[in-house]
Amino acid sequence: MRKSWLLFAIGWLLILGGSWLASAIQTSGGVKVQDVRFAGTGGVTMSGLLYTPPNATTSTPAPGILAVHGYINSRETQSAFAIEYARRGYVVLALDQTGHGYSGGAAFANGFGGPDGLKYLRGLPTVDKANIGLEGHSMGGWTVLAAAAAMPDGYKSVVLEGSATGAPFAAEGTPGWPRNTALVFSRYDEFAKLMWGVPRALDVGTSAKVKALFGSVETLQTGRDYGDLAAGTARRLYTPTTTHPGDHISTEAVGDSLDWFSRTLTGGTPRPASDQIWMGKEAGTGLALIGFVVLLLGTFAVLLDLPQFAALRGAPAQSAGGGWLRLSLTALIPVLTYFPAFIAVTLLIKPSAALPQTVTTQVVLWALINLVITLLMGLFGKRPEAAPRRNVLIPAVLIAVAVSAVGYLSLVLVDRLFLVDFRFWVVALKLFSPHQAMIALIYLLPLTAFFWVSLSALHRRLTGQYLTAIAAMAGGFLLFLVIDYGLFFATGRLPTDFDPLSTVIAIQFVPVLAAAAIVSTFAWRRTGSALPGALICGLVVTWYMVAGTATQFA
C-alpha cells in the first residue's frame, strides 16, 4: 500500500513541478500567455496562444508575429519560437490551423486559417501594424503564405521554416513575393523533394524553385543577403544542421528565425540570437509527460489495493517462452506492415464522417492488420499453460476508466493552472476539444482490440519483464529509425523518401509503444491478466491520437 501511494505521489510531483517550470519559462520577463478563441471565416472557431510582452501596450504598440505549426501538430509545437519572439518584445499569436488543436473546420480549409490569424493579430491594439512578421513551419509555411496572399500589405517579412512556395498549396515564389523572406531549410529535412524538388536537402541551394524565389541564376549561398529590404525583396537562406521535425528543438533553427526578424522588424527588445531559454519549457513539459505515465501506474496500484478490485489481483501464469525468434517476429512484423497500411489509407480511404482523421485511420488499419497476424500466429506453436479463468471484465473496465480519468483530470488541472500540456518534441498529450471527444468514440474500439490481442499474446508467450516487453512493442520501430536515419545522415538522402510524412510519424511509435509496454507489464504482473492494461492503453492511446492530429472532415 505504501509503495502504491509513493508512486502516485511521485507522478503528481513530476507533473506539477514540470508544469510549473514550463509556465515559468514561457512567462519569463513578464510575458503574458493567453488562450484565445475568435471567429474565423464562415464562423469557424479559431484557436491560438497569445504571447504579450510587457512593452506591448495600447500606447506603445509592439511588433507582432504570426507563428504557425505544421501538419498534424498544434499551437504548442511552436513554443520555442513563440517564447523567444516574446522575449524580444514581439506580440506573438501561435495559431492552431483549421482542423488542428482547438480550431474548428477541416484541415486545409480557409487558407489553413492563416488569413484569419493575421486579421486577428492586426486587430490587436497592442500590435504595431507596420511591423508584422509571419513564421510557419512546414504546412504552417503555407498557412502564412495564404495570409500574405490575402493581405499583401498586412505584413513586413516572412520566415519559411522547413516549408516552400509553390504548388500544390501556395503561389509560386518570385523575387518580389512574398515580401522579405528567409528560408530556413535544414540540412537533413525529410521533405526536400516535396518542398523544393531536390533529392537532398543539402542541395536546396541548387533548386530551380528556390532560385526563382531569390531571383538568382546561380547556386544560392547560405548566410548571404539577396535583394533589397526597403523594396521588400530581401532574401536569405539558412541551413541549420537538423531534420524537419528537429526544427522544433534546434537552437540553430530558432536562432536563424530570430536573426531574420531582428533584421526586418523594428522595435521590440534586441537580444543576441544565441540567448535562448525555451529548452527549459521543453524539459518541464517533458518531465510532466513522464509524470503522467508514473501517475497512471500509481493510480492503478492504489486502486488495486482497494477491496472493490480484489477480484483483479492474481499472479501471472508461466509464459510459454519462445526465445529470440518470437521476440524478433513480434518486434519486426509491425514495422513491415507500417508503410503498406499507411499508404493504403492515403490512396484508398477518403476522410468522411465515419473516418474523419486520416492519420488515426492509418494507425487503426495498421493495428487491425497486426491484430489479425497476431491471431494467426497464435494458431501455431506451443501454447502457454493457462491460468485459472476469472471473471475480471467488469472490474477491469472500471479500473481502466478510473485510471484514465485521473490521468485526464491531471491534464485539466495543469491546463487551468499553468496553460501547458504534456509533451516532449513530437510526443504530445493534449485535452480533447468537444468535437475530438466524439471522434474518439469512432476509433476507441479497434485500437483497444489491438492492444488486447497483442498484449495478451505478448505476456503469454514472452517473459513478463519490462525490457522484454519494450523491445517487443517498440524495438522494431527503433531499429528501423536507427537504420533509416543513419543512412540519411550518412548520405543526405532519406531511404524512405517515398513517404517522408509516415517516416516522421513513425518516430512517435517508439515512445508511445514503449509506454504501453510499461503500463501493460505493470498491470500484468499484479493481475495475471492482460485485459486491464490493454484497456488503459486503448483509452489513453486513442486520446493521444485523436487529440493530437488533424481532422480532415469537419
pLDDT digits (tens, 9 = 90+) for 230-268: 999 999 999 999 999 999 999 999 999 999 999 999 999
262 with 380, same domain: the answer is no
Number of domains present in the structure of the chain: 2
Report yes or no on 429 lying in a domain: yes
Report yes or no on 15 lying in a domain: no
CA distance 82 to 163: 18
**Boundaries of domain holding 372:** 281-548
Report yes or no on 7 lying in a domain: no
Report yes or no on 376 lying in a domain: yes
- pLDDT (tens digit, 0 to 9) for every residue of the chain, 554 residues total? 688 999 999 999 999 999 999 999 999 999 999 999 999 999 999 999 999 999 999 999 999 999 999 999 999 999 999 999 999 999 999 999 999 999 999 999 999 999 999 999 999 999 999 999 999 999 999 999 999 999 999 999 999 999 999 988 999 999 999 999 999 999 999 999 999 999 999 999 999 999 999 999 999 999 999 999 999 999 999 999 999 999 999 999 999 999 999 999 999 999 999 999 999 999 999 999 999 999 999 999 999 999 999 999 988 876 655 578 888 999 999 999 999 999 999 999 999 999 999 999 999 999 999 999 999 988 655 554 444 456 789 999 999 999 999 999 999 999 999 999 999 999 999 999 999 999 999 999 999 999 999 999 999 887 778 999 999 999 999 999 999 999 999 999 999 999 999 999 999 999 999 999 999 999 999 999 999 999 999 999 999 999 999 999 98
Residue with cell 513586413: 156
Model pLDDT, residue 379: 66
Report yes or no on 396 lying in a domain: yes
CATH of the domain at 113: 3.40.50.1820
Report yes or no on 250 lying in a domain: yes
347 with 257, same domain: the answer is no
177 with 294, same domain: the answer is no
C-alpha cell of residue 117: 490569424
218 with 315, same domain: the answer is no
Report yes or no on 386 lying in a domain: yes
| Cβ contact 163:140 at 8 Å | yes
pLDDT in tens, 178-207: 999 999 999 999 999 999 999 999 999 999
189 with 290, same domain: the answer is no
93 with 221, same domain: the answer is yes
Convert 237-266 to b/e letters by CB count within 10 Å (16 or more is b).
bbbbebbbbbbbbbbbbbbbbbbbbeebbe
262 with 305, same domain: the answer is no
Q: Which amino acid is at 165?
A: T
Last residue of a domain, one of 213, 240, 274: 274
265 with 302, same domain: the answer is no
196 with 306, same domain: the answer is no
Last residue of a domain, one of 274, 289, 314: 274
Convert 20-51 to b/e letters by CB count within 10 Å (16 or more is b).
bbbbebbbeeebebeeeebebeeebbbbbbbb
C-alpha cell of residue 63: 511588433
Model pLDDT, residue 244: 98
CA distance 162 to 159: 9
151 with 205, same domain: the answer is yes
Last residue of a domain, one of 216, 240, 274: 274
Helix locations, 103-196, DSSP H: 114-122, 139-150, 192-196
242 with 321, same domain: the answer is no
Report yes or no on 23 lying in a domain: no
Q: Which amino acid is at 326?
A: R
269 with 286, same domain: the answer is no
